[in-house]
Structure formats: C-alpha cells, structure tokens
Amino acid sequence: MISTLPPDCAFCRGNGLLKGELVGESEHAFLLRGQFGHGTYLIIPDQHIEDPAQLPDAWWTEVKRLLSKVSDLPPSYNIALNVGAPAGQTIKHLHFWIIPRYPDRPSSGKGLASFVRDVDSE
C-alpha cells in the first residue's frame, strides 16, 4: 500500500484525475462505468494499492456489494485483474474489470487464457 496519494494516479479519487461515471460505492471500494465498451465496469479500491496481497481481507465482500449495483450485468461475464505491464496493466492502482460476455460474439466461449495462447502462438 502507498502511504501518500500519488499525484498522477488516474484512479485515486483524492487527486482530481478520476474520470468516468461513478455507479456505486462500498466501504473500501467504488464502481466506475468502463470507457471501453458497453457494459464494462471497474471495481477499484479506495486506497492506492498496487499489489493484490495488500487488499483488505474483506475485499470479496466489497466486490459482491458492488456487483449488485450493476443493473445491466448479463448472466455471463469475466472479472479480470491485470498485474504488471506484460499482463496489460497500464495504471498501477489495482482495478478489477467487469467484462460482459455474450453468446453471439466471436469471443464467446473463450477465456483470457485462450486469448493469450492464441496470440502467443502466432
């Protein structure tokens, strides 16, 4: 956990850089509508946390509370966490993606592991 608020962190609410629609809040996290496609959301810890091991013990309770605030959550979705630049993390503040999945899309039936396998085997 970082003891001071990083002035350039896009997900720290106290520095004025957060963009997007705030959809819900819980005691230690908030839900933001994602900017990368219809129905995507981000669950973000209130504290600036960079390492998943630093998440509070009650973290999944927070996730459960915030998922209940997603009014358009389809029956199938992914919850994704990217840790480190090679994994696709571009903002060092942990954030969990909620990504809707639909049966009529080319990505249907494919999880992250199959996408990585397909790209890395090329």
Interatomic CA distance for residues 50 and 107, integer angstroms: 29
Q: Is the pTM of this model over 0.85?
A: yes
Pairing of strands 22-25, 29-33: antiparallel
Cα(first)–Cα(last) distance of the chain, in Å?
Answer: 38
9: tokens are 């962190």
> Residue type at 108?
S
* Count of other CB atoms within 10 angstroms of residue 41: 27
Pairing of strands 41-45, 96-100: antiparallel
pLDDT tens-place values along the chain, 122 residues long: 555 678 889 999 888 888 888 999 998 999 999 877 778 999 999 999 999 999 988 899 999 999 999 988 999 999 999 999 999 999 999 999 999 999 998 888 888 888 788 888 86
100: tokens are 């809707």
Residue 85 buriedness (CB in 10 A; 0-12 / 13-18 / 19+): exposed
Sketch the domain layout of the chain as residue ranges.
13-120
Q: Tell me the C-alpha to C-alpha distance, in Å, between residue 82 and each of 21, 63, 94, 100.
A: 21, 16, 8, 17
Right CATH number for 13-120 from 3.40.140.10, 3.40.50.720, 3.20.20.120, 3.30.428.10? Answer: 3.30.428.10
